[in-house]
Amino acid sequence: MRKLGALLAAATLLITACGSSSGGTGTKTLTVFAAASLTESFTALKAQFESAHPGTQVRFNFAGSSALVQQLTNGARADVFASADQANMDKAGQAGVLDGAPSVFATNVLTIAVAPGNPKGVAGFADLATRGLTVVVCAPQVPCGSATQKVEQKTGVTLRPASEEQDVKQVLNKVQTGDADAGLVYVTDAASAAGKVARVDFPEAAQAVNSYPIAVVKNASEAGRAKEWVDFVLGQQGRAELQKAGFGAP
């Protein structure tokens, strides 16, 4: 009986050791840190990528690009980082958390999200400075907030936002819930909430186009799969999904 128990214990240890090298199920987990505005398009690409790479599971951390950079520089583990602007990707590079040069895969511009039917009659960017209108924007360190500031500087229009949110989805949510009359979001975010918000485009947005770069993270636990994800996003399937969501070409 002792010999049998010893053999069973040894077998258990062997099985555990084999399982631990692949996460216990043989599945490789690819961790992607991505700007909040990529939520819908990257989630759609996840299913396509996993289908083409059996045994791989893509896990996302969606947040404001500035918050993601902070997490990475504080030691958070990830395989890929996709930013909503070049400035935050540059910060990641300067902090030494990237493996190789980033590649731009998409562009995006701002629009004004308002309640369906546009009950406040917002017609353009200058209208957002109207007193009595509750406006929300992204915080300055967030790409959509930086773009907002650029439009303000170009137009000479100074906004007085009721709040500055940490990512674009929080701005969108405040408009959807009626906590704000208007919010500056990306055209892709307004499109993702079609029917829940209306969209008011304004020509000045063209003066603050955001480029989206992507890169493999240094010391990625799944460096090979990370490179494949980057290539996938840059490739034909990635381009098609991003275009469908409303992103512009690089």
Q: What's the pLDDT tens digit per position in 177-219?
A: 999 999 999 999 999 999 999 999 999 999 999 999 999 999 9
Q: Which amino acid is at 120?
A: K
Which range, of 21-25, 174-178, 201-205, averages the lowest pLDDT?
21-25
Do residues 100 and 170 share a domain?
A: no
- In angstroms, what CA-CA distances link 97 with 29, 69, 70, 106, 220? 19, 9, 11, 22, 10
102 and 117 share one domain: no
Q: Please state, in angstroms and rounded to a whole number, the distance separating the CA atoms of residues 242 and 234.
A: 10
Residues 101 and 225 in one domain: yes
The per-residue pLDDT for 26 is 78
Q: Return d(Cα 155, Cα 173) in angstroms, integer.
A: 26
Q: Is 53 contained in some domain?
A: yes
Q: Quick one: 53 and 96 in the same domain?
A: yes
Give the model confidence (pLDDT) of 115-158 as tens digits.
999 999 999 999 999 999 999 999 999 999 999 999 999 999 99
Residue 228 lies in domain: 2-107+212-245
Number of domains in the chain: 2
**Domain containing residue 86: CATH number:** 3.40.190.10
What's the pTM?
Answer: 0.88
Which residues on adjacent β-strands are paired with residue 243? none
For the stretch 211-247, pLDDT in tens is 999 999 999 999 999 999 999 999 999 999 999 999 9
Q: Which of 6-10, 77-81, 159-163 has the lowest mean pLDDT?
A: 6-10
Which residue reads 């290539």 in tokens? 231
Residue 250 lies in a domain: no
**Residue 170 forms part of a structural domain:** yes
User: Amino acid identity, residue 161?
Assistant: P
27 and 73 share a domain?
yes
